[in-house]
Chains A and B, each alone.
Chain A
Amino acid sequence: MSFLYDKSLSEIRSLLLAKELTVTEVVEACLKRIEETEPSVQALISVQAEEALEQARAMDEAGPNESKPLWGIPLTVKDLLCTKGTKTTCGSKILENFEPFYDAFAVAKLKEAGAVIIGKANMDEFAMGSSTENSAYKATKNPWDLNKVPGGSSGGSAACVTASQAFGSLGTDTGGSIRQPASLCGCVGLKPTYGLVSRRGMVAYGSSLDQIGPMTRSVEDNARLLQVIAGHDEKDSTSVDAPAADYLAALNRTDLKGLNVGLPKEFWAEGLDGEVESACRAAVAKLEELGAELVEVELPHSSYAIATYYIIAMAEASSNLARFDGVRYGYRSDEAENLLDIYVKSRSKGFGDEVQRRIMLGTYVLSSGYYDAYYKKAAQVRRLIREDYLKALEQCDVLVGPASPVTAWNVGELTSDPLKMYLMDIYTISLNLAGLPGLSLPVGLGADSNMPVGLQLLGKEFDEATLYSVASLLEEKTEQLGTPAGL
């Protein structure tokens, strides 16, 4: 028997509109689920129970509103997204008591669509990390095995969705932070094309790479969320001025005949764990069964992606995080005696180790005398990487590969080896450099680890619709993981 909290967003929506359920009942079910699972999973930094229930009661009183595509649906958002009047910590001590006075564009869109925001999801501090262990508040656990990490940096969102605490969550993806935790936790995560979803109100990490995207338990749920948050925002200069496609309509495809699926050979090479490879290969075989044509393609500059990414992301981060200076908001050291002290002591104590490491590296690569060798060179390589993708996507409609080289690893296993941790983003990072969309879909459990494996589908610019149509068909052909046992 399926519990209320286990139902899909689409099912809940039908029940709410048919008045078979009240918003209060749905919200209460999620809050109860959070109460039960949160002590072990630790997916959320804050829960807005009172506000959510109050909103739910008001909505029940007003009655269902079919024009609102997320009417009464409880969701969470990563704590990197500004929520008006609700603490937004970015997983950092430096923003421990920070309450924004405005909503992020994407959050405002969710609210307009009738969603009920019930919690703020845990994350690696300022989205810097791949395991959600770099949070100043808590380390989120993988709902499939509490000794393992959920991936990151949107590990809180992935774990919260997988543990059925909410019907979806918004994550952010700068180098894989949606797709990698989605893969490790076994949920659906989409990083949209750069510019599809406004970044306004998302606390910036690497501005030229950052995108907000939905994390859900099904492809259809994912498409429903993207439909709401995609679209032009004139207050984000990098937001594209074009209407979003109809993503739900894309789910009606019945086969993949005529579809060219590219297999980038660099993604299926050395370093890929055996169990991940076999689960992904099995999924690729299903694509072929559905009528897709498989093509091997090359992304020759892939090997430079990690180095390029870390130069660009850290350079941007070093500048983006300068505003956290203890002057206007956030943590300020009470031991500061003068202005320099305010900066040095507040930032040294307010930021965690990984954030400080990235600020220092970013400062270094932008420094006078090093700029040309690092930042400028990285920007040039970035263009080559994008060209690789565009060329491959001339012959193919989508590219597929694993989302992560391994399944979830043990808590604490990589925390002392940052470089190895950086390598965990090897399959996701280049897509952010190219600005293209990517979706991670659960395709089964690893034969050895018994932990979820995600297949990554990469698409053409603003062609999220094709990703959804392929993912949705493949999802139908794949045995569903269901809710992790023991939770």
Chain B
Amino acid sequence: MADFEVVIGLEVHAQLKTESKLFCSCSTRFGSEPNENVCEVCSGMPGALPTLNAKAVEFAAKMGLAMNCNVSLGSIFERKNYFYPDSPNGYQISQLDNAICQNGYIEIPVGESTKRVGITRIQLENDAGKSIHSQAENLSYVDFNRTGVPLIEIVSDPDMRSAEQAVSYLKTLHSILLYLDICDGNMEEGSFRCDANVSLRPRGQEEFGTRVELKNMNSFRNVQRGIEYEIARQEDLILDGEEVVQETRLYNAEKNITASMRGKEEAHDYRYFPDPDLIPIKLTEEQVAGWKSELPELPLEKRARFESEFGLPEYDANLLTQDRAIAEYFEAAVGCFNNPKKLSNFMMGQFMRELNERSIAVADVALAPEHFAELVRIVEEGMISTKIGNDVLPELMEKGGSAEAFVKEKGMVQISDSSELESVVDEVIAENPSEAEAYRGGKHKLQSFFVGQVMRKTRGKANPALVNELLQKKL
């Protein structure tokens, strides 16, 4: 890639987590029976009129504020006209030049540093329905449950220069949406979707090359692979002296290729014009300022603070701040036991492993942050070993309650009483005379054998440091 520079811009569609649809009061619930959440408005019946969902406006504006955009005090809706069975009005209600949020930017992590990516605009629009094709019956069905669900389309400037940067941008966006709690971020169910515009230009050239729009990449991995494939494809074309054609291509994850969906000639003329059924979205400076003050601390800020305030390594801070709930849980725990690094170790280790294994969220964890902190504290204080701490954490996460009471009740408290341990050590030495002999003869590796025997007799509760000390003394 020495000779070419990659130029990538992304269009991300995020479904907003509102209770009702963008222009009617139907539920946005996922997984209902087909056409259960449908009324005259979202099924495009004659005479039906849209009325705007104020919550969706708030969510879109907050996303804009989180991305340093200007929030328009009088943005307008436009109709994007095209025929398709899952678009019952024959047009989508969307926004164009005068969108609700414009001219923003975000910082994305790139290697050790960060990079600024410009945001062209964030537009509010309604989702389409779903076509279901039955080969057996040779029929197509349409489900309008998703029709009218609010979306924001976040259009970036063409600022990314590699597939890695595109994925980093996407992940940053994704975590901001989750931090704001305005989108569930589920890529497989389609509540977070991404199209990429990819082009190459000779290094040093200012003018953009011909771009290709990539669709159908429904995971971060597929975004990475789809873009990489497309970069290689375009590079081959150019090196072979062929032209890159402006077109829309679909990524095929199974084959890991992109294939043409429609060319420039087949591109729709959407005939945008202001929707006469809707009045401009009027916002006041006060409203916008109010929303801005409600914004939570965002992932990148939180990460920096975790590093500076808690002295955590970048790796820890990054991992702990990707999910807002995890970050908040962690911070609450630090409030109860001020040893961030130890807490972080447990959190990134057994705690997150358990979340992944059981596919649950922090909200499903019964263990309160203070009791999690308590567990880490009693490990630190030597009441239990790190191993026992890790062993009991899953059950505590499921049942909750005081960690100290739990390990005491189960008799898991570490034996740190030297007289009690001394007798065990004596016993072990007496039972293994030949090993004791060998040790004394210089085979010091056998120390761990003796430690293991002591642990077995105490069912893991012996304080390892004390055991070592006693063994050395007695042998």
Q: Are B271 and A366 in contact (CB under 8 A)?
A: yes
Q: How far apart are the CA atoms of A399 and B91 in the complex, in Å?
A: 39
Taking chain A's interface residues, is the majority helix, strand, or loop, or is none over half, making it mixed?
Answer: loop
Min CB distance A462 to B, Å, is 16
Q: Which residues of A contact B83 (CB under 8 A)?
A: 322, 325, 343
Q: Roughly how many angstroms separate A238 CA and B277 CA in the complex, as a whole number?
A: 7
Q: A325-B90, A327-B142, A367-B271 are in contact. Are A319 and B47 (CB under 8 A)?
A: no
The verdict on A429 contacting chain B, using a C-beta distance below 8 Å, is no
Residues of B close to A199: CB separation below 8 A: 47, 49
- Known A-B contacts A322-B81, A343-B83, A368-B271; A100 and B47 likewise in contact (beta carbons under 8 Å): yes
B48 touches A (CB below 8 Å) = yes
Roughly how many angstroms separate A237 CA and B76 CA in the complex, as a whole number?
A: 13
- Bound Cα distance A303, B97 (Å): 32
Q: How many A-B residue pairs have CB under 8 A?
A: 99
Contacts of B81 in A (CB 8 A): 318-319, 322, 366
Closest to B24 in A: A235
Q: Which residue of B lies closest to A363 (CB)?
A: B271
The answer to whether A207 touches B46, judged by C-beta atoms less than 8 angstroms apart, is no
Q: A319-B79, A327-B142 are in contact. Are A90 and B46 (CB under 8 A)?
A: yes
Tell me, in angstroms, the Cα distance from A82 to B41 when the chains sit together.
Answer: 13
Report the contact-size class of chain A (Cβ under 8 Å from the partner): 35 or more
User: Is the beta-carbon distance between A207 and B47 smaller than 8 angstroms?
Assistant: no
A87 to chain B, nearest CB (A): 12
Q: Bound complex: CA of A321 vs CA of B91, how far in Å?
A: 10
> Chain B: interface secondary structure?
loop
Tell me which residues across on chain B come within 8 A of A327, comparing CB atoms.
85, 88, 142
The answer to whether A319 touches B88, judged by C-beta atoms less than 8 angstroms apart, is no
CB of B278, distance to nearest CB on chain A (Å): 5
Interface residue tally of chain B, by bracket?
20 to 34
Taking the closest CB of chain B, its distance from the CB of A235, in whole angstroms, is 5
Residue of A nearest to B81 (CB): A319
Give chain B interface residues in 7-63, CB to chain A under 8 Å. Answer: 40, 43-52
In the complex, which residues of chain A have a beta carbon less than 8 angstroms from the beta carbon of B49?
Answer: 199-200, 235-237
Instruction: From known contacts A88-B46, A200-B47, A237-B52, infer whether A322 and B90 are also in contact, taking CB-CB under 8 Å.
Output: yes
Q: Is the CB of B46 within 8 A of A328?
A: no
Query: Looking across the interface, which residue of chain B has its beta carbon closest to that of A88?
Result: B46
**Minimum distance in angstroms from B370 CB to a CB of chain A:** 47
CA–CA, A368 to B79, complex, Å? Answer: 14
A3 at the binding interface (Cβ < 8 Å): no
- The closest CB in chain B to the CB of A347 belongs to B83
CA distance A91 to B88 in the complex (A): 21
* Inter-subunit contact A202/B47 (CB<8 Å): yes
**Residues 246-279 of B at the A interface (beta carbon under 8 Å):** 269, 271-273, 276-279
Residues 185-228 of A, flagged 1 when their CB comes within 8 A of B and 0 if not, give 00000000000000111111011100000000000000000000
Residue B89, interface by CB 8 Å: yes
Shortest distance in angstroms between B75's beta carbon and chain A's nearest beta carbon? 14
Q: How far is the CB of B139 from chain A (nearest CB, A)?
A: 12
**Chain B residues within 8 Å of A321, by CB:** 90
Interface residues of A in 101-141 (CB under 8 A from B): 101-102, 104
Cβ of A120 to closest chain B Cβ, rounded Å: 14
Contact A322 B89 (CB under 8 A): yes
B90 touches A238 (CB 8 A): no
Interface centre among A100, A319, A328 (most CB of B within 10 A): A319
Answer whether residue A431 sits at the interface, using C-beta atoms and an 8 A cutoff: no
Indicate if A234 sits at the interface (CB-CB under 8 A): yes
Residue among B43, B48, B269, B278 having the largest count of chain A Cβ atoms under 10 Å: B48
Q: For A316, what are the chain B residues with a Cβ–Cβ distance below 8 Å?
A: 273, 276
Residues of A within 8 A of B269 (CB): 367-368
Query: Given known contacts A95-B46, A200-B48, A237-B50, what 13 new A-B pairs fall within 8 Å (CB)?
Result: A82-B46, A207-B276, A235-B49, A237-B52, A238-B277, A322-B83, A323-B44, A323-B88, A327-B142, A328-B43, A339-B85, A367-B271, A368-B269
CB<8 Å pairs between A and B, sample of 13 = A82-B45, A100-B46, A200-B49, A202-B47, A203-B46, A203-B47, A207-B276, A234-B51, A319-B90, A323-B89, A327-B88, A329-B45, A368-B269
Q: Which residues of B contact A (CB under 8 A)?
A: 40, 43-52, 79, 81, 83, 85, 88-91, 140, 142, 269, 271-273, 276-279
Closest 3 CB pairs of A and B: A322-B90, A208-B276, A366-B271
